[in-house]
Amino acid sequence: MKQWQSEGLVLRIRPYSESDKLVTLFTLEGGKVPALARGARKTRSKLAGVVDSFCRGDYLLYRGKTFTTIQQATLLEGFRRLREDVPLYFSALYLCELLEKVLEEHHPAEGVYRLALKALKALNDGELPRELVVRAFELLLLKELGYSPSLTGCVECGRREGPFLLSPAAGGLLCRGCLGQERGVALSSGSIALMQRILERGLGGLKVVRVPAAQLKELRQGSWDFFLYNTGIKNVKSRACLENLPG
């Protein structure tokens, strides 16, 4: 099938020539797809407003010998605030970069696609605190990839009472007695409860809650260690920009 249609999200855009853009699309039907948008850098191009950062669109694609090209595009959701507000922009950029790193080309990943859409929408609409959306997205992405941390007790001895550390090598919580040579991030009981709530209910099931900064920090380090250990990804450039945002 040389021509195909799918809805998709724009994960990344690079200028390709004076008038073309090279786009990384995350399509519902075909997963991650690098595609050429001919003429999209020209302001009068029909593709200009649809092939833009974080946009959700319906795309008609043609698989050529060298490139897949975007032949037509219809905008479904623009997520405009994500391009106008600096903290939101860097948050969305980070989500998209993380997706680009973990997704394989031409492998459909419907669960991840739905999660990405929910996260971008929650950021754009301001339904939940920005940092909570980012931390929940990281954790739920780990779950979709099959690396959900085990949080019900120490994975070695079954102990239910903390204190616990989160160990990527163990795949979940370890008590101090079982930690041995493993590295781990200390998690408070509040952080463990928050992680469990996120994993059970998903983004849609989270109410607007005031999460202490210390818990968000623990989640940030805990999830990140799981990513590094399980996916082999190393350098996510926008993460540094995001973590250095004021406030």
> Distance between CA atoms of 54 and 73, rounded to whole angstroms?
14
> Distance between CA atoms of 143 and 165, rounded to whole angstroms?
19
Q: 184 or 222, CB closer to Zn ion?
A: 184
Q: Report residue 182: phi and psi, to 5°.
A: -65, 150
Look at residues 159, 183, 187 and name the one whose alpha carbon lies nearest to residue 170.
183
Among 139, 175, 187, 203, binds Zn ion (CB under 5 A): 175
Among 157, 169, 214, 233, binds Zn ion (CB under 5 A): 157
Q: 84 or 161, CB closer to Zn ion?
A: 161
> Distance between CA atoms of 131 and 240, rounded to whole angstroms?
14
H or E segment at 136?
Answer: helix 130-144
* Per-residue binding letters, 206-245, with Zn ion (x by CB under 5 A): ----------------------------------------
Only one of the segments 84-92, 102-110, 176-184, 218-226 lies at the binding site for Zn ion (rule: CB under 5 A); that segment is: 176-184
Q: 134 or 165, CB closer to Zn ion?
A: 165
Does 154 contact Zn ion by CB under 5 A?
A: yes
Look at residues 221, 244, 233, 237 and name the one whose alpha carbon lies nearest to residue 135.
221
Residue type, 26: F
Q: 22 or 179, CB closer to Zn ion?
A: 179
Q: Report residue 36: phi and psi, to 5°.
A: -95, 130
Does 40 contact Zn ion by CB under 5 A?
A: no
DSSP 194-225: HHHHHHHHTGGG-------HHHHHHHHHHHHH
Only one of the segments 9-17, 18-26, 47-55, 154-162 lies at the binding site for Zn ion (rule: CB under 5 A); that segment is: 154-162
Size of the site for Zn ion (CB under 5 A): 6
Only one of the segments 3-11, 110-118, 153-161, 215-223 lies at the binding site for Zn ion (rule: CB under 5 A); that segment is: 153-161
Does 178 contact Zn ion by CB under 5 A?
A: yes
Q: 17 or 150, CB closer to Zn ion?
A: 150
Binding site for Zn ion (CB under 5 A): 154, 156-157, 159, 175, 178
